Amino acid sequence: MNAQSHPIRVEDQHIGKQIKARRETFGLTQSNIANALGISFQQLQKYETGANHTSGYRLCYLAKILCCGPDYFFEGIGVAIETERMASREEAVMLGYMRVICLQQCDLSDDMNRRWEAAGRPSQGVPEPKGTLQ
């Protein structure tokens, strides 16, 4: 249990490990990524440890910053769940839905940005991540 008195979920731990692995692949620090996201490095650290849940919206930002698709963060999640505990059928179905929704949100945001830009308007969809990688 963490300081907020709720158990850390296997799913959040797995996604956090994926975020950390991808960040380290590029030799980036938590501060580099946190600055690009407009959050503190402590918040990113909580995402990486699974102490805090990472929203689908935030995963879209992270995917752009880390040059991968949002589905990268879900790769191997079923194995992680089975390793830690027996996953019920309902949990597996819910994770599948979460993955699809996350991917759809990213696709819709990209499509909306393209349509707005084609109409000569500034983008109203998902804004680009704040800051730059240092």
Proportion of the chain above pLDDT 90, given as a percent: 40
Q: Which domains are present in the chain?
A: 10-118 (1.10.260.40)
Proportion of the chain above pLDDT 70, given as a percent: 76
Task: Give the residue-averaged pLDDT of 55-62.
Answer: 90
pTM for the model stands at 0.61
Task: Give the residue-averaged pLDDT of 55-66.
Answer: 91
Distance between CA atoms of residues 7 and 128, nearest Å: 32
Residues 6 or more apart whose Cβ sits within 8 Å of residue 133: 28, 32, 33, 35, 36, 65
pLDDT at residue 91 greater than cutoff 80: no
